[in-house]
Each structure stands twice: as structure tokens, then as C-alpha cells.
Amino acid sequence: MSIYLLDTTLVMLVSTIICAYNYGRYVEEAIESVLSQGVTDHEVIVVDNASTDETPQVLARIKDPRLRILRLEQNLGHGSGLCVGLKEARGRFLTFLDADDRWRPGKLKRELTIMDSEPDAGMVFGDLVRFNDTGYYPATQFSFAPELREAASVPTKCGTGRRLTADCFATLVACLALPSWLQTMLIRSECLRGATFPADRRTCPDLYFCLRIWPHIQAAYIDEPTAELRRHGKNTTAIDVCRLERDVCETLREFDSEPSLSRGQTEALRRRIGRCCLGLGKSFLMERQVMPALKYYASAIQYPTSRFKAILCLLAFPLLYVYAKYRG
């Protein structure tokens, strides 16, 4: 691994980590959206995960003292790439951005203002909007997580955003769309408690990271988009939706016996896992994949809040399969 570093004994206000692999056509725009936030006490760490396209050349022509480029000699995967950046970060606050996405103007200053006014908050996050070459999608991510706006919260002391007053972990795992959108987050480094990214998976390293920090922090949020997620043919979520749902469920199940969770957090997690298992049973059934569908319906039985519905689905499985086959 070839690494070009500054003095790592220095302490910055903010560290932003971008992991890039073969996104040379997008990465400059991503970096510019970060550098233009108006925060000078700021380092931008770009982990080039052994890109084989024009990414190294694009990075080399960006001349800004806040930019640090870490070039890996072999692709270690997205999770490991983020770990490399995390180990090198020197900021009191951490932010993240994917190399094909971008921040909206003012994101970072607004989040820092909230953190300054809410010293007990360990994280602030915002909404997310998707876009492609033809324009913006009409729905934001908060549209898929309506529970956020219904959760107990109060206005922040600075008047921007709201602070959750209920348990952060229990509140966020209950959301229909889990708000593990690192692109929108600002996190206090002191709240990480050794949290890191899993190196052995292609999807959901961000969710795993969030599940490690959510149990121990208070959170605030901004109820409008602060980041823009680019949709294109190489997005992980666009490749196999069923696989993504499965990976989300399995990531949640890794924390099912986590001893550091409180009783309320464990109950909230198990309710969510039960819902995931039911949803996967239905998804695989509609794809007419019998064994995976049966597996997840059977798994849902072990979660009390989903048990009754799971039993009904198993009893009616032959009829449900005929229906799925007819629709297909």
C-alpha cells in the first residue's frame, strides 16, 4: 500500500473519508462538494481502492492542502477501504461520502452548528435525495422512513434540526428504511468506542457501523436533504434487491445476542428482525424461490411479534405459491 500522509499527530476539526474504486468520472465532483463547504480546519481522506480507471490521474490533479490520498496496491473491498480511512482520520468529527455521490452546499456548517449547540449529541444526520443523469427522484429517504418524523424529539438549541429524545438505537431500527446513510452524518470521534467496518462483505458495512454506535449515543437530525445519492447501473443496491434485503436482515441478526444492548434496544431489534424475515419470505416467494421463502418464514417464528403472521404464511404457503406463480 502506497500512502502519502501529513503529520498524523495533528488534530483536525473534521475528517471526511471517501473510498473510491473506479469512479474517476464522479470522484472529482464528490471531492469538490466537500472542499466547498467553507470549513478550513478539515481534512479529506480519499482511499483509492486500487482503481484501474482514471481515478489516480483525477485525484493527482486536485491541488488542495486539505486533501490526503491513500492509494492501496490491491482492492480490499469497500469495508476495508473505509477502515483504512478511519484509522488515519485525525478529526474530532467524522463524515463520510461515497465517491459517486455529493453533498449539498452548507451541509457541514449546519451540522457543526447543531453539534456545538447540543454537546450531548454524538451524531447528526440529514435526509437524502437520489438523482441520475436526467434529474432528481421525487421521493427523499425520509419518505421511506416516516417513523422518523413521528419519533419523540425537540428542536435543537440552535434552531436548526431536531434532537431525538427517545433511545437512538430503538428509534432508528424501527424505521422502515434504516437511516444508516453515512453520506448525511456527522459523528463525534469520541463516540465511536472502537466501532469499525466489517471487511468481509460487499453490502451493508455502513449499517453494521451504525449498529455499533447507535446504542451509545444521542442523535439529532435535519429534516431536509443534505446529500445527494447518484443512481447508476453500478450501484450495489441496483444489482440485486433481494440480496440487499437479505444482507440487511443478516446484519441485524448479528446483533440479536449483543450483550451491550439494553432490554428495550434488544426488543426493538427483534421486532425489526421479525419484520425483515417476513418481508424476505414474501420477496423470495414472489420470485418463486421456495426454499429461501420457507427459510425466512420459519425464521420469523422465533420473533414473538411476527410469530402469528409467520405461522399463517407457512400454513397458506401452497396457496401463496400458486398466487405468486400466477402473477409471474
Summarised one tens digit per residue, pLDDT across range 280-314 is 999 999 888 999 999 999 999 999 999 999 999 99
Report field, pTM of the whole predicted structure over 0.85: yes
Going from the N-terminus, what domains does the chain have, and what CATH number goes with each? Answer: 2-239 (3.90.550.10), 244-327 (no CATH)
- Beta pairing partners, 140: 129
Residue 191 pLDDT more than 80? yes
Q: What are 195's three cell numbers? A: 466501532
- Residue bearing cell 435525495: 129
Q: Any idea what DSSP says for residue 104?
A: P
Q: What are 204's three cell numbers? A: 451493508
Question: CA angle, corner 33, sides to 30 and 37, nearest 5?
Answer: 150
User: What are the CA-CA distances from residue 256 to residues 247, 259, 274, 287 (Å)?
Assistant: 15, 9, 11, 27
Sorting pLDDT into bands at 50, 70 and 90, what band is 328? Answer: low
User: CA 299 to CA 291: how far, in whole Å?
Assistant: 12
Q: What is the pLDDT of residue 320?
A: 86
User: What are the CA-CA distances from residue 49 to residues 30, 78, 82, 156, 239 (Å)?
Assistant: 16, 8, 10, 38, 20
Of 216, 48, 179, 184, the residue nearest 108 (C-alpha): 184
